[in-house]
Structure 1
């Protein structure tokens, strides 16, 4: 049986708001409640249609009354923050961790709740030089995330597992998204690749697996509508090397030695251009790739966009113009290649006696 009354958290942001809009357009769902501390923008509110906006803070136990009074049977927790807002890192952690605790406590107390969908992240696997080629859902991180959003996500998933033990009658779906990208979403990577000069770590070329924001919405919608409990990696097919992505965006790479990376990223962070946390810096060192077999075979979902297609759609949609003319770059690369061939040829040519 499908959901009747759905509550979606974080509706003032892209994923929560647009998911509520999709669910509200489904006539099979009786009511859709959208919860957030701030009202969505005018355009997003219009898109949300018959969604009933409730200004509420999930860190407050009052969220339990909202769930009980409305007879909510399905909760979609999309309010997990990936980068600091006006309140800084402390406020984000409080919303992520304390907010999730209070929300799950409210779900536990309501006998009507029978499904919970949680937006999580592949950052729970961490990033290190000892990582496997791909992560499956059963794998543990080689280096447990110790700070930032990744640590929040590890704690959140721990609370979700605890909730599942206390309420085994509730179907719980945890979606571990790879890095989100797309023309309509504001995320760490969209800000990073919009920089005219992109800082990288000298000697490293991370493997990136990306998820288009529209695919993220589609998988959240499917998780809400069908019974697919479990933990699922979610990412587009294929990978891009960081250097390839920078070239495809027409940006200029700025390779920095390890000690110089932190001061430069702190500058970008203080200027509110890109929020570089410690786990994001490790991600730009080593990258991360997910095995999505379970997503396709058990969950029944295949992302529409591959990693490369998602990235190219972001570049087109944002109208990113090359900082340097691509033909100039290609000519320089061809010239450098020709020079290397000549040098290699001269180095191996036999000596001629006079």
Structure 2
């Protein structure tokens, strides 16, 4: 068994919440394949798919509600030293309701309380999101981990995540022997994971805010998994922005997918998206409208220098892989776009 560069042993017994979700389930799969980890425990109130259960291999699955004291019993029974709270990934595919808020906020409170009481826990990794920064016209060019949002979320998943991070930081203050790592993921895209952003960009006609050109960063699903695994295996306490290199505008995203923009007043993005999706994932909510109007870009310096993690995919490469393998059909082919581009360049030349 090797040691990380900080001199601390890799985890011996790891418990992962949210095991039925994409990130939680596939993280369990990766950890279970690591021979240096003695025990992996997968926890969720829902049973993972049969395919995912098979991939989990030697991991033990416990069906329990993290809002209940049973989470503390599980930590004690398996002598857990590292807990990865990946359950908030539910925000990618489920509408925000009072029940979901309770699962997120009360569940995280119970997890942190259980860790505080446990003599064995030495590390907590929380999957968070860049949604905590909010989005608005007066935002900085880049959000660093210490930059407060100009208009922080007051409801929805953004508000939940602010409260959840608060519980995690409170644990770090009360138990200074427990290393707490908070990973703030940018919008995740990939051929397998289903998120609001992937559903939005898959629309043949994409409602956009009239007169706005928001800038985005994307995080590939494989890099999201790799970042969680890296934080689990290495002692890197702190809060870290996680995103691929580079910036992609909304127009670039829509056009590279071969889809069409439909500029509308910002207030119509949410209802129009819901109508155009016609089921499946929930439509873009009003709380997401500011993000789709103004975008959000993160400073990832700490990700590289302190966390020691470098994503494999850039934002543009993530977008292109999602387009190529994600099953989204173009309305206008790439050949047509190139022909239109050549025509536009030729017309501009003639006018000079």
TM-score tier after normalising by the smaller chain length: over 0.9
Q: Which residue of 219, 223, 231 corresponds with 2:239?
A: 231
- Say if 2:275 is the partner of 1:267: yes
- What is the CA deviation profile of residues 205-224 of structure 1, one whole-angstrom value per residue up to 9, with x for unaligned ones? 11010111101111111111
Q: How many residues are matched?
A: 343
Q: Is the 8 A contact 1:148 1:277 kept in 2?
A: no
How far off its partner does 1:247 sit?
Answer: 0.9
SS of corresponding position for 1:299? coil
Structure 1: distance between partners of 2:255 and 2:273 = 20
- Matched ranges for 1:1-354 at <5 A: 1-80=9-88, 81-83=90-92, 85=94, 89-268=97-276, 271-336=279-344, 338-339=346-347
C-alpha distance in structure 1 between counterparts of 2:185 and 2:211, whole Å: 27
Q: After superposition, what is the alpha-carbon deviation per residue over 1:176-233, rounded to whole angstroms, capped at 9, x for unaligned?
A: 1111011111111111111111111111111010111101111111111111111111
Relative to structure 1, the CA distance from residue 333 to residue 131 in structure 2 (aligned partners, 3 Å threshold; closer, same or farther) is same
Unaligned runs of 5+ in 2: 1-8
Kept in 2, the 8 Å contact 1:14–1:185? The answer is yes
The aligned counterpart of 2:6 is none
Q: Contact 2:270/2:283 (CA < 8 Å) preserved in 1?
A: no
How large is the RMSD of aligned CA atoms in angstroms? 1.7
The offset of 1:145, in angstroms, is 0.6
CA distance in 1, matches of 2:73, 2:304: 37
Distance in structure 1 (CA, Å) of the matches to 2:24 and 2:16:
6
Report if the CA contact (8 A) 2:227-2:309 is conserved: yes
Relative to structure 1, the CA distance from residue 268 to residue 10 in structure 2 (aligned partners, 3 Å threshold; closer, same or farther) is: farther
Q: Are residues 258 and 162 of structure 1, via their aligned partners in 2, closer, same or farther at CA, if it must alter by over 3 Å?
A: same
Q: TM-score, normalised by structure 1?
A: 0.92
The normalised TM-score by structure 2 is: 0.93
C-alpha contact (below 8 Å) 2:208/2:266 kept by paired residues: no
Q: Is the 8 A contact 1:250 1:320 kept in 2?
A: no
Whole-angstrom CA distance in 2 between matches of 1:151 and 1:265: 23
Structure 1 residue 281 displacement after superposition:
1.3
Q: Does the CA contact (< 8 Å) of 1:77 and 1:119 recur in 2?
A: yes
CA contact (8 A) 1:122 1:233 kept: yes
CA distance in 2 between partners of 1:13 and 1:248 (Å): 29
Secondary structure of the residue that 1:288 maps to in structure 2?
coil
Unaligned runs of 5+ in 1: 346-354
> Cα 1:334–1:163, aligned 2, differ >3 Å: closer, same or farther?
same
- Cα-to-partner distance string for 1:98-121 (whole Å, 9 max, x where unaligned): 110111111111111111000011
Question: CA distance change for structure 1 residues 284 and 71 in 2, over 3 Å: closer, same or farther?
Answer: same
Check 1:260–1:225 CA distance in 2 against 1; reply closer, same or farther (3 A cut).
closer
CA distance in 2, matches of 1:67, 1:285: 43
Conserved in 1, the CA contact under 8 Å of 2:240 and 2:300?
yes
